[in-house]
Structure 1
Amino acid sequence: MPSLCSIQVRYTTVVTLLVLVIVVVVGTSMDLAVRYRVRDEAFLNAEKIVLRWSAQVRGGHLPHPIPASAGVDLIQVVDARGRIVNSSPQTGRTRLSRFRPEPGNRLQRRTECLPGRQCVLLTADRISPNADSPVVYAGTAEPSILATHDLEYVIAAAALLMTVMLGWMTWRITGRSLRPMEQQYQLASTTSHELRNPIAGLRLQLEGALLYPDHVNPRDTIQRALSTTDRLEAIVEDLLLLARLHGGEHAPHEPIDLGVLVTEEVGTPAPTMPVHAEVTGNVWVHGSRTQLIRLLSNLLSNARRHAETGVTVWVASAHGQAVVEVTDDGAGIESADRERVFERFVRLEDGRRRDATGSGLGLAISRDIAHAHRGTLRIEDSACGARFVLRLPLIEGK
């Protein structure tokens, strides 16, 4: 199965290549269209001028020299012997072209490029079918857009910029679309690894009891199996909760007095460390009572597990937020591990030693619940032990 990163690379590559092909085709078509339009317009202007002066030649009213007009400044009248009879001042004494239209095709377009000189777009008109008929030439120097590759450079730069931008957008959009799949893939991979160990241990215990019934105490085997089953059950329940949180399932929300909720949770009988709660003022939030109870329960269980003599919970409001601090007086958490402990199935060595049956998902679930309530859960500095700080949007006016 290809990795999700390779899928993202593949989609981005395909889209980028497709865009590149399209912009190359469009850019080439645009380049040809612009060149044809500029060239055709130059020839049409020259044709109008050459027909005008041809009529003047036939009527015998041709001025000397011939004035330039309509942007066409290169005009010559050449007789049948190739002598310049009349011309515009800009042409000099050099013939614009040695081409003479045939009697049956009197009006023709030419592009003349003499060595060392700029190319000229000309229209030639034979005055009459007679052999001694003069020819009128009119034209203009080839525009720079046709004489250089500036147009191609501009189109190529625009095409490259468009390709890069669309490729980058495709990468971002594909990555955003695949992010949930990446998270599910990672969760499934980590979950399978974490479930494999207790299942393998359970199988080993049961197989040992079957293979060596005379050397194994059935009661001890059943107790160990039940302990392993409890851990598997805890992992499965936590995974289901994570799936609901990440699946967009919305639990019913209601106004909740966070101080009362904390006081009730702290007052729940527990055989371990004592917990002292301090509530300052009315602290109301809008959220799921069940999920917030789970979050507080996870924080209190974690604090009790690592405390030496007790746990302190402080509830107050500050800067438009409800703040809950859960502090223990244990060994604390190193700065390098403060974000790591919120990852799924991560359990530090001290936590494994104090509780071997934990799922390693409690803090990850707690942070996900905080995010689901548009809040944050972080570990902040403390003079002693670990200090977990929960911040949630405060309901004003309560």
Structure 2
Amino acid sequence: MITWSPEGCVIVFRRWSVQRRLTLAALLCALAGYGATALLLTPILHTLATGFLTEQTAGAARRIAFVVERDAPARLRPVAVTEGTDLIQVVDDEGRIRQASPRLTGQPPLSTATAGGTDARLDTTSCTNRVPGVRCLITVGFRAHVGGRPWMIYAYTPELPWYISPLYPPATALGVLPLAAVTACVAWLTARKALTPVSAIRNELAEITATDLGRRVPRGRHRDELDELARTVNETLDRLEHAVEQQRRFASDASHDLRSPITAMRAQVEEAMLAPAEADWHETGRRMIEGLDRLQNIVADLLTLARLEAGTPGRREPVNLARLVSDELRRRPAGKRVEARLRSGVVVEGDALRLSRLLANLLDNAERHADTMITVTVGEQKGQAVLEVLDDGAGIAPDQREAVFRRFTRLAASRRRDAGGTGLGLSIAREIAEAHGGTLTIEPSERGARFVLQIPLISS
């Protein structure tokens, strides 16, 4: 047995395609719109039809009035049905019926109103129960002078019901339904044509795999919302392809950098095991500890990058950059001379630990490349807190200033100065800057490398 429930209808409706739902919505809106239009037009048509009947009735009354004035009272003939008007009465000045149509023969006057003033016409409504099947009548009267005395000629016609005619509702429905069907058909064809690009985008996306990210969805011929969708999808695919390529490169570089210390430690152990009696196990252990430290640093940096990329939220607290720099410089071991130019009152919102890690990475980088001195500056510029770390080393070529922020990127000078670096410090520093809504760039300088961090100030 088939059962019906609102919940089942909702589930079925939700399973419909967009094209079907749009067509159904168009059909329902068309039915409602055309139906409302028909209802709004009904009073207008009722008024027009009533006016037509009134004038038709007036024409019949006017002709009877002419005949009454022309013929003497003694020669008055029975009133015949004229122009569909079969309710007519001729009443003299004493209220007696002198003539009447067959349906009103023997009936008293249905109206006693008279045309006043110089106007010979009377328009009114008469309600009576003397005419079977009729409650109220449109009444038109004309004054006629018979023998110098005023008579009234009344013509009546039944008032129209609000629906005008029994044929009007079905005729309206027969007119609304085809129009609604045509509207639904047009909506179906329009939706199918409009959704064709969506199907093309879906099919293309279904065929794109992780090994074939170079494909793009087709753009539309018209610059509309669907074309904007295709453009956005292609931009997303561009970013995805770039991210996947970066991830592959990152995995390759990470495996290479992790394999190097492991290979070195394995070689050291195998070499010592070939001649265990002659091996310097203390030196072998020291070198293995250095390799393990390098592995530990790489793993720690990878974990930090993974947390930053995953959007792991840090603490949000006011951080005074001048105080942060002072504390970091106090903790650092003695090395190259550091000159601090710190402006007090430069406060940002962020994670003090992560910002300390950023500063430490910049100072470590400057320590490796500076000849004699490092300059750290804290200031403000256009609503931004500015932290600069400048060394007096050889500097970085303009075409390599973005490359140093890529993971595991180590320039030749960096490898010569510190073979144990991970190549992740500057990448981590930039990720921390971006996580704080800021930027980390290398700006031109007369000498050395000038790293500039900009973070929004706390709005007062």
| Structures share fold, TM-score greater than 0.5 | yes
1:338 aligns with 2:406: no
1:192 aligns with 2:259: no
- What residue number does 2:309 align with? 246
Give SS of 2:349's match: strand
- Cα displacement (A) at 1:196: 1.0
Give the distance between the partners of 1:352 and 1:193, measured in 2 at CA.
15
- What residue number does 1:119 align with? none
Q: Which moved more, 1:339-348 or 1:259-268?
A: 259-268
1:257–1:233 CA distance, 2 compared to 1 (3 A):
same
Give SS of 1:359's match: coil
Runs of 4+ off more than 6 Å:
154-162
Aligned counterpart in structure 1 of residue 355 of structure 2, from 288, 292, 305: 292
Q: Deviations over 1:179-216 (max 9, x none)?
A: 65555444323211211111111111111111122443
- What residue number does 1:325 align with? 388
Within 5 Å, give how 1:1-398 maps onto structure 2.
163=200, 164=218, 165=227, 168-175=231-238, 183-397=246-460
1:248–1:179 CA distance, 2 compared to 1 (3 A):
farther
One-letter amino acid of the structure 2 residue matched with residue 374 of structure 1: G
Q: Deviations over 1:240-269 (max 9, x none)?
A: 000100011111110010111011112224
Alpha carbons 1:374, 1:393 under 8 Å: kept: yes
Give the distance between the partners of 2:280 and 2:384, measured in 1 at CA.
56
One-letter amino acid of the structure 2 residue matched with residue 346 of structure 1: T
Give the distance between the partners of 1:231 and 1:251, measured in 2 at CA.
26
One-letter amino acid of the structure 2 residue matched with residue 355 of structure 1: D
Q: Which moved more, 1:225-234 or 1:167-176?
A: 167-176
Alpha carbons 1:332, 1:384 under 8 Å: kept: yes
Give the distance between the partners of 1:184 and 1:346, measured in 2 at CA.
14
Q: Which runs of 5+ in 2 are unaligned?
A: 1-16, 21-189, 201-217, 219-226
Give the distance between the partners of 2:232 and 2:368, measured in 1 at CA.
47
Q: Which runs of 5+ in 1 are unaligned?
A: 1-21, 27-153
- How many residues end up aligned between the 2 structures? 254
Give SS of 1:227's match: helix
TM-score when normalising by structure 1: 0.58
Give the distance between the partners of 2:232 and 2:400, measured in 1 at CA.
35
What's the RMSD between the two structures over aligned residues?
A: 3.2
Alpha carbons 1:307, 1:329 under 8 Å: kept: yes
Identical positions, percent: 46
- Cα displacement (A) at 1:159: 8.1
Give the distance between the partners of 1:307 and 1:271, measured in 2 at CA.
14
Give the distance between the partners of 1:310 and 1:174, measured in 2 at CA.
46
Alpha carbons 1:311, 1:328 under 8 Å: kept: yes
Alpha carbons 1:266, 1:277 under 8 Å: kept: no
One-letter amino acid of the structure 2 residue matched with residue 347 of structure 1: R
Give the distance between the partners of 1:171 and 1:394, measured in 2 at CA.
36
One-letter amino acid of the structure 2 residue matched with residue 261 of structure 1: L
Alpha carbons 1:266, 1:276 under 8 Å: kept: no
Give the distance between the partners of 1:275 and 1:194, measured in 2 at CA.
31
- Cα displacement (A) at 1:224: 1.1
Q: Which moved more, 1:275-284 or 1:155-164?
A: 155-164
Give the distance between the partners of 1:396 and 1:168, measured in 2 at CA.
37
1:184–1:247 CA distance, 2 compared to 1 (3 A):
farther
1:253–1:341 CA distance, 2 compared to 1 (3 A):
same
One-letter amino acid of the structure 2 residue matched with residue 395 of structure 1: I
- What residue number does 1:83 align with? none
- Cα displacement (A) at 1:157: 9.7
- Cα displacement (A) at 1:160: 7.9
Alpha carbons 1:283, 1:315 under 8 Å: kept: yes
Give SS of 1:267's match: helix
One-letter amino acid of the structure 1 residue matched with residue 455 of structure 2: L
Q: Deviations over 1:326-362 (max 9, x none)?
A: 0011111111111111110111111111111111100
Instruction: Identify which of structures 1 and 2 has the higher relative contact order when contacts are C-alpha pairs closer than 8 Å and 6+ apart.
Output: 1
Alpha carbons 1:265, 1:297 under 8 Å: kept: yes
Give the distance between the partners of 2:253 and 2:459, measured in 1 at CA.
41
